[in-house]
Copies of this chain bind each other. A is one copy, B any other.
Amino acid sequence: MGRPRRKRSGGRDAKQALRKQSQAQVAAFVERGIPYYQLMDEASLALIEHNADTVLEEIGIDFRDDPEALQLLGDAGASVDGERVRFPRGLCRSLIRASAPAEYTQHARNPQRNVIIGGKRTVMAPAYGPPFVRCLDQGRRYASIEDFRNFVKLTYMSDSLHHSGGTVCEPVDLPVNKRHLDMVYSHIKYSDKPFMGSVTLPERAQDTVDMAKIVFGSEFVQQNTVITSLINANSPMSYDATMLGAAKVYARNNQATVISPFILAGAMAPVTAAGAVTQILAEALAGMAFIQVVRPGAPVVFGTFSSSISMQSGAPTFGTPEPSLVLYVAAMLARRLGVPFRSGGGLCGSKIPDAQAAYESANTLQTAALAGVNFMLHTAGWLEGGLAMGYEKFIMDADQAAMIAVMLQGVDLSENGQAMDALREVGPGSHFLGCAHTQANFADAFYTSSIADNNSFEKWLEEGSLDAGSRANTIWKKMLQDYQAPPLDPATDEALLAFIEQRKSAFPDRNY
């Protein structure tokens, strides 16, 4: 059985040592050097919080088909009426504040890839959930486990993505009741970055935990967080038994959950930004309080997935201004609560990696970055409102994610950064190309995009007048060709495969 090469890095010194070590190589996550964008003033935020408490107190949240959840919440002071749970004003907040950590380390099997989620960090993960994939060569088709492995590999090779994610695409060629085993195995086998667990049934969550124990050791898993999993609310204002069941498994095993209201404003929430964010806060408070009641101290993340719908067709829309406003406010509310915050990255509605996809994704990525998202799910690959994972889109978004990491570092105000010597050396009317300061800094001075073509028009013509999609197509193919798996202890690998074999043979294949 594998063992992590590094002990729990709870202490500040350990974290600092880890950070130093990571930065010498590839940064394991982004440390923010610039302020958050503060969209709203204190009084307005307090109004939203007051309204969310009103929702929790007067309207309440449904916890469905889970008598244990109702019992636990009733014992914690909530008022339970059937499946409707009403929370006295401030109860959720105080339950969360009493025990939820402000940040947590999610361990990876390679400790240099450990991420800290919360505070001034941003951890970026690929898109989650698409049943289809798209590439320039084959167009759109159902995703397979091979696609899943490909996206794990591409994420592993992308320095700007810190986290292997979860359902990077849905491997629909495998039976529904067994595919989670292959997904979790792929994250472990083909990457050494941290990953997400299955949430489609409590026993699948337990399988995820059991596989993690094979990799990290049982004791280590009980004491440390090695899985972060996505728990969506059934917005508006309800949680279902599947999600609650999976959440309980993870919480009881000290593993992290991202409690995410899933909002298409106009359908699952009011059409106004203030109304939508009020509901988001209420739902997130109830879900996170529930986790703290299940196991005080279990890491929990304030999640949001917020979009609008087209009031013409009812279809979800992305990259528009209203969800950006919601996101800026939600991030501020999470900070006031003192928990990590999750939102989406490169969201778009376009079917293909065209200008629509790019405008929408850039708008969402910029907003997430400035808002201060700690765990940025859907950073790369997302197309078609999440229905498709795009190979070319993935490469483009990963490039954007790398730019955002640079932006978040901010302005270097060291003497070298101030560049007064360069200004003195060059003076009026000359140029800086050859000056000592430029020579000393040029290698790292500017982010160099992997897909942007900045050549002359003539050179671009000569090279075939390619668009960004075509260039990205070449890149992902080359990456998959060059891929080399990170080493995995053979005994661990064998134990994982034996576990999977045993679990698979215990049940017939099912597609639900």
Say whether A487 faces chain B, with CB atoms less than 8 Å apart. Answer: no
Q: A422 near B: Cβ within 8 Å?
A: yes
Contact B424 A59 (CB under 8 A): yes
Counting CB contacts under 8 A, is A71 at the interface? Answer: no
Expressed in whole angstroms, the minimum distance between the Cβ of A296 and any Cβ of chain B is: 26
With contacts A61-B428, A437-B270 taken as known, whether A453 is within 8 angstroms of B321 at the C-beta atoms is no
Q: Are B274 and A350 in contact (CB under 8 A)?
A: no
* Tally of contact residues, A, Cβ under 8 A: 123
Q: Say whether B62 contacts A428, CB under 8 Å.
A: yes
Tell me which residues across on chain B come within 8 A of A359, comparing CB atoms.
Answer: 358-359, 361-362, 396, 400, 468
Which of chain B's residues have a CB closer than 8 A to the CB of A203? none
Question: In chain B, what residue has the closest Cβ to A39?
Answer: B34
Give me 12 A-to-B residue pairs in the complex whose CB atoms sit less than 8 angstroms apart, sorted by A's number: A54-B420, A236-B431, A236-B432, A238-B428, A266-B442, A268-B431, A271-B442, A272-B445, A313-B454, A322-B406, A329-B411, A358-B362
Interface string of A337-367 (1 = CB under 8 A from B): 0000000000001111111111111110011
Q: How far is the CA of A149 from the CA of B313 in the complex (A)?
A: 36
A424 contacts across to B, CB distance below 8 A: 58-59
Once the chains bind, are B423 and A349 in contact (CB under 8 Å)? no
Interface string of A266-304 (1 = CB under 8 A from B): 111111111111110000000000000000000000000
Is A324 located at the chain interface by the 8 A CB criterion? yes
CB distance from A505 to the nearest CB of B (A): 37
Distance, CA A297 to CA B179, complexed state (A) = 72
From residue A396, how far is it (CB to closest CB) to chain B in Å? 6
Contact of A427 among B236, B410, B411 (CB under 8 A): B236
Q: Is A237 an interface position by the 8 A CB rule?
A: yes
Interface presence of A310 (CB below 8 A): yes
> Within residues 445 to 498 of chain A, which ones have a CB less than 8 A from any CB in chain B?
445-449, 451-457, 460, 465, 467-469
For A363, the closest partner residue in chain B by CB is B362
- Report chain B residues within 8 Å CB of A265: 445-446
Which residues of the partner chain B approach A407 to less than 8 Å between Cβ atoms? 321, 324-325
CA distance A173 to B367 in the complex (A): 43
Contact B311 A445 (CB under 8 A): yes
Whether a CB of chain B sits under 8 angstroms from the CB of A443 is: yes
A502 within 8 Å of B (CB atoms): no
Contact B236 A363 (CB under 8 A): no
A468 and B355 form a contact (CB under 8 A): yes
User: Bound complex: CA of A429 vs CA of B64, how far in Å?
Assistant: 10
A242 to B220: give the CA distance in the assembly, Å: 72
Say yes or no: is A305 at the interface (Cβ < 8 Å to chain B). Answer: no
Interface residue A384 (Cβ < 8 Å from any Cβ of B): yes
Please name all residues of chain B whose beta carbon is closer than 8 Å to the beta carbon of A404 when the two chains form the complex.
Answer: 321
Within 8 Å by CB of A271, from B140, B357, B437, lies B437
What 0/1 readout, one digit per residue, does chain A (416-437) give for beta carbons within 8 Å of chain B? 1111101110111111110001
Q: Cβ of A315: which chain B residues have Cβ within 8 Å of it?
A: 454-456
Contact B355 A353 (CB under 8 A): yes
Bound-complex Cα distance A451 to B349 (A)? 12
Residue A138 lies at the interface, judged by CB distance under 8 Å to chain B: no
Closest 4 CB pairs of A and B: A275-B419, A358-B358, A362-B362, A270-B419
A44 within 8 A of B: yes
Q: Which of B238, B410, B420, B467 contacts A356 (CB 8 A)?
A: B467
Knowing A59-B424, A321-B404, A452-B317, say if A442 contacts B311 (CB, 8 Å).
yes
> Does the CB pair B350–A452 fall under 8 Å?
yes
Contact A267 B321 (CB under 8 A): no
Q: Does A438 contact B (CB under 8 A)?
A: yes
Write the chain B residue with the least CB distance to A384: B457
Q: Which of A315-338 contact B (CB under 8 A)?
A: 315-317, 319-322, 324-325, 329
Bound Cα distance A454, B270 (Å)? 20
A47 contacts B by Cβ under 8 Å:
yes
Interface assignment of A105: CB less than 8 Å from any CB of chain B: no
Q: With a CB–CB cut-off of 8 A, which chain B residues contact A386?
A: none
